[in-house]
Amino acid sequence: MYRDGVDPAEGEHPLLVLDRIEEDFAREQELGLRDMGATPWAELLVEYVDALTELAGDASEFHLEDGPGPGGG
């Protein structure tokens, strides 16, 4: 009689082995990212928005120097 109804000679199905390896890797990667410290998402978002605002401001100044836009007389 086999333990848990599985013949030890058959082993584990290859796809199940790959799934387990993938889960272990994902878990290790997540723990590694947590150990590195938290990413300051709020600060990065503020910097990104500031940069976009600056670019948008530069673009609007550029268009104003070229004269009126479409339909602007």
The domain locations on the chain are 1-37, 39-73
Per residue in 30-63, pLDDT (tens digit) is 888 777 777 778 888 999 999 999 988 876 665 5
pTM score of the predicted model: 0.39
Q: How far apart are CA 51 and CA 35, in angstroms?
A: 30
Position with higher pLDDT, 69 vs 21: 21
Say what the pLDDT of residue 10 is.
72
List of residues 6+ apart from 72 with CB closer than 8 A: none
